[in-house]
Structures are given as structure tokens and as C-alpha cells.
Amino acid sequence: MYEFIPEEIPPQTVIFSKPTDNLMLLLGGLGAFLYVIYFFVHAEYWLGISFLALSFILIYTHLKKAKSTPKIILTNETFQVVGQDAVSWAIVHGLTIRSESKGNRYFETLVFVNAGRVQEIPIASLDITSWHFEKLIEVYQERFRALLPEEDTSEDLQE
């Protein structure tokens, strides 16, 4: 079982997208390559070359989409969706993971309000579990609260 130790979390965590499972592109590329062999055996060189190009394009597209890219950056001070400005934890409101089911499918979505706009990010598209992501958010928000200056409520200052 995975043990979550907040002290071992670095000051910055980058959450990547899940590599896409575009197996259809890979299968299409391999299938096109089988046609290449067939066309070259039957002396249909132009068709063979065409399917060879198609095969390379499909396999290249699969490999390109299979790479993960950064989606969310969490630091002790800020929360950032890649492609947008980093915002302080103080302005990120209503950060929750919403669960819903439709039929026999189960969806989890990160929902938060950023500068007055409600944003939703499907957890399934991220390379992290919702439980782990929720724990990371708790740790970074707690660290941010620790960085804030404590309000002095002593009666001496009220004079």
C-alpha cells in the first residue's frame, strides 16, 4: 500500500497528462505496413510507397501523442494550469474533486474557481490518481497557510 508522507513532497510538483492510448493509430500504421509488403510482393510499387508513407505518418502520430505533457504545476505559493498564469493559493477557491457516474462509467473532475471563472479538468486525463492529487493539494495549501503572516489579535494594537 502506498504511504503518503507530506514532508517528502518537493516545493514544486508538476502533474503531467496521461499518455494517450491511441492504439488505433498504431494498429493502423502496422496494418498499412502489412499492405506495403503485399503491394511490393505483387509489384505494385506506387501503392506500396503510398502505404509506406501512410504507415510512417500513423506510427509517428501515435508516438508523438503518446508523450505526456505538463498540465498542472503546484508550488508552495501558487497553483498553475499550464498555458495560464500562475495564481496564488489565496485566489483559488472551491478547489474540489467532483465525482459523477453516467451509466456504468465513473468520472472524476477537478473543479475550481480561478479569477471568477469556474474551471474543470478531468482527472482521467492526468497521470495521477484523484486520491494522490487531493493529498497534494492539501499539503500545498497547508504550506501556503504556513507562509502567511499570522494576524496579531493582541489588545495592545487596538488602542
Residues 73 and 125 in one domain: yes
Cβ-contact 12, 4 below 8 angstroms: no
Residues 92 and 57 in one domain: no
Residues 85 and 11 in one domain: yes
Evaluate whether residue 154 is within a structural domain: no
Residues 61 and 74 in one domain: no
pLDDT in the model for residue 53: 95
- pLDDT tens digits, 70-118: 889 999 998 888 888 888 888 887 888 888 888 888 889 888 887 778 8
Q: Say what percent of the chain tops pLDDT 90.
A: 18
- pLDDT tens digits, 35-64: 999 988 988 899 999 999 999 999 998 888
| Mean model confidence pLDDT for the chain | 84
pLDDT in the model for residue 151: 62
Evaluate whether residue 159 is within a structural domain: no
Structural domain harbouring 89: 6-18+69-147
The count of other CB atoms within 10 Å of the CB of residue 29 is 19
pLDDT in the model for residue 57: 94
Residues 75 and 127 in one domain: yes
Residues 74 and 59 in one domain: no
Residues 84 and 132 in one domain: yes
Residues 47 and 76 in one domain: no
Residues 79 and 130 in one domain: yes
Residues 43 and 78 in one domain: no
Q: What is the mean pLDDT of residues 14-34?
A: 86
Cβ-contact 74, 128 below 8 angstroms: no
pLDDT in the model for residue 3: 65
Question: Could you give the CA distance from residue 97 to residue 127 in angstroms, rounded to a whole number?
Answer: 15
| Number of domains present in the structure of the chain | 2
Residues 12 and 36 in one domain: no
Q: Is pLDDT larger for residue 43 or for residue 23?
A: 43
pLDDT in the model for residue 156: 47
Return the C-alpha torsion angle 72, 12, 139, 77, nearest 10. -90
Residues 99 and 80 in one domain: yes
